[in-house]
Amino acid sequence: MRVYNLPLIMARCLILTVLCETIFAIIIGVRKKRDIVNIILVNIMTNPPLVSITFACNIFYGIQARNILLTILEIAVVFIEGFVYYKYLDFKKINPFILALLLNAVSYGMGELYNYIFY
C-alpha cells in the first residue's frame, strides 16, 4: 500500500459502501427517497474518515494496529449512523441502531469479499 493510492482506495471504498448499503436498505424495506438519500449522505460523512485513518494507521503502525483501530472505528460509526438514523429516518420497522449495524455489517462483509477476490 502506497500513499499515492489513497484517493483511489477511498473512492472505491465509498462507492462500494454506498452501493452495498443502499441496495441492502432497499431489500429490507427502506423505500422513501428521503431515507435513501440520508443513508447515502451519512455514508459520505463516515466512510472517508474511517478509510483514511485506518489506511494511515496501517502505514505507520502495521496491519495489527490497523485491525484494532478498524474495529473501534466501525463500532463508533455504527453508533454515529444509528443516532443519525434515529433522528432523521422515517423508516421505523427496524431499530435505527440495528439498521446501522446491519448495513455496516453487509458493506464490511462485501468489502472483505471484494478484497479477498481481487487482492
- Residue 1 confidence (pLDDT): 66
Measured N-to-C along each axis, helices 96-118 and 63-88 cross at an angle, to the nearest 10 degrees, of 140
pLDDT at residue 13 in the model: 96
Q: Could you read off the pLDDT of 24-43 as tens digits, one per residue?
A: 999 999 999 999 999 999 99
Give the three-class secondary structure for 62: coil
Residue 2's pLDDT is what?
A: 81
State the pTM of this model. 0.94
Q: Which of these, 22, 5, 10, lies nearest to 91 by C-alpha position?
A: 22
Q: Phi/psi zone of residue 93: left (φ > 0), alpha (ψ -120 to 50 degrees), beta?
A: alpha
- Name the stretches of the chain with pLDDT < 50: none
Cβ atoms of residues 96 and 85 within 8 Å:
yes
Q: How many structural domains compose the chain?
A: 1
Range of the domain at 71: 3-118
| Alpha carbon of residue 61 to chain centroid | 22
